[in-house]
Structure 1
């Protein structure tokens, strides 16, 4: 069973083509490589200097297995912060050689977070990852005023799905962090997510601002906000992307539905790159439906921080954790090149 209809066209293209589809076609003719799936992301990671992730409370089987796989595949190195005795015991059980990683012994979970996040804060590592610790305690370290990763911008979460039937990446936001984003919050979410798209090879992503309907209804405030975001994009107040809303989910991801509904005047006609959800309920339900029904490959990070933050749940698969590390690595490289890391 597939949650998403098959795409007819894919408009992801290499950096440098701007808003001009003809320029995008020209880039393709020149041989520019379009990033289409997580294997492409992993290949891209190997083109630059290896990034390092600090893992807070690394004494967790699934996390250690993921960082071991990431190192083995050349995706990233890791500094493991936590109970060294437990880390080494788990590593031995998994057949890992802990000597291949730097291990910082800190048995107190809160202090382990603090020491790990400070490595990222001080620029000694490129990414920060949650291990065996409650999410609320992990996030406290991210937001710590002294050693955390605040940038002055609101934080948001993005989950990237590999759509095998469309040979494309789809970016879902915010499905895990912001509960009821305001209009201003949604501007920040877009601004946080667009650089993630660029890091994955989509220079000018299409942002579908989702609602239950595709017309403005004053009794449905999310449709009014969606129209306002579209207007802000048209006026150059939101840049680096193409914003269209309100859009129903079918118009955002299904070209056939867009044609059937006669949406020929819309900037997005079933070819969205980013799905911007009205609230965490809609986003999280959609995310879990895709994961549980389709089981598609995905990776998730927290953005708006000084370095990419890998915030996975214990229920996430081994593959999702590895993909999240790879995603964070390409974003870290993009931030470095843009001077934000």
Structure 2
């Protein structure tokens, strides 16, 4: 498998797999969610299961005009009921992916994280992986966490590295390069999260997450720019060619996600990991295209 370097490569790869993922869409009656879902259905890698106010979903032109099959409807009387039904479908193996539509994030996450019938296994870490196609970078850049974990513990950060390595391998990158990011390239007790970077690098070198290169602390420029790395006289196995960066906290992650799309004309996508099925949890401000590519990213992460 050749490494996937663009969003077009990603969707073409999914089409070539001829694998149809069953997608439970919770309250997908808004134009951008319905449009993204129907685009994925038309592309051939999704079967849509709309859960919620089905009459409202059918009012969307992209849905009402579709006659190609692979779309079904499950009625629910409220957002809470829709979230619980969709999560139950995933838990019972009736759906492979879960997507948030026009409902509060907390409503869906309460169902996802329910201790009795939710879809986050005991001991797993819920985290967010985003990917950006940036015009000025020569390949996709993945990063975590922009949406879920405020200040990752050492154990949570190790889980982030593990999920990231799995995702990068799914994108055909045999030996992905992951940078542990800080504002400088030195460990400091003033920034406690950097104190654990050495242990993560050692675990990666021992093969804990398969074939992967992990190094840090690096700042974002030395992680992604070999010239900056050379100018600073730093030697790193990442070599200024990071495939992914693990960011110190949610503030850095969220800022990066929004700054890339707002100021760098990047195309972005994201998905939750750690659950038994990937969860697409878009922001209200995400475009139809971003939601579509998030669906594709989630489909890529399926085993």
TM-score range, shorter chain: over 0.9
| Length-normalised TM-score, structure 2 | 0.93
Partner residue in 2 for 1:77: 47
Structure 1 residues 202 and 284: CA distance shift in structure 2, 3 A: same
Alignment check: 8 A CA contact 1:163 1:296 kept: yes
Deviations 1:166-217 (A, max 9, x none): 3411111011100000111100111122111111111321110011110122
SS in 2 for 1:299: strand
The answer to whether the aligner puts 1:166 opposite 2:112 as a matched pair is no
Aligned residues: 300
Name which of 94, 100, 110 aligns with 1:130: 100
- Is the partner of 2:140 in helix, strand or coil? strand
Alignment of 1:167-186 (within 5 A): 167-186=138-157
1:34 aligns with 2:3: yes
1:1-341 correspondence runs (5 A): 14=1, 33-46=2-15, 47-89=17-59, 91-92=60-61, 96-97=65-66, 100=69, 101-152=71-122, 153-263=124-234, 265-332=235-302, 335=303
Which structure 1 residue ranges, 5 or more long, are not aligned? 1-13, 15-32, 336-341
Deviation track 1:141-186 (CA, whole Å, cap 9, x = no partner) reads 1112333211220111000112344341111101110000011110
| Distance (whole Å) between structure 1 residues aligned to residue 259 and residue 144 of structure 2 | 15
CA RMSD of aligned residues (A): 1.8
Change (3 A) 1:79 1:98: farther
Once residues 331 and 319 of structure 1 are traced to their aligned partners in structure 2, the CA distance between those partners, rounded to angstroms, is 19
Q: Does the 8 Å contact 2:37/2:48 carry over to 1?
A: yes
What SS is found at the alignment partner of 1:289?
Answer: helix
Residues 245 and 166 from structure 1, CA distance in 2 versus in 1: closer, same or farther, beyond 3 angstroms? same
For 2:8 and 2:107, the matched residues in 1 are separated by 32
Q: Distance in 2 between matches of 1:113 and 1:177?
A: 18
- Cα deviation for residue 94 of structure 1 reads 6.6
Output one character per residue of 1:200-252: Cα deviation in whole Å (capped at 9) or x when no partner: 11132111001111012222222222233223323444544211011111110
Once the two structures are superposed, residues 266-299 of structure 1 have per-residue CA deviations (whole angstroms, 9 ceiling, x without a partner) of 1122111111011111111111111110121121
For 1:56 and 1:269, the matched residues in 2 are separated by: 42
In structure 2, relative to structure 1, the CA distance for the partners of 1:232 and 1:99 (3 Å cut) is closer
TM-score (norm 1): 0.83
- Counterpart of 1:43 in 2: which secondary structure? helix
* Cα offset, 1:260, TM superposition: 0.7
Structure 2 gaps of 5+ residues are: none
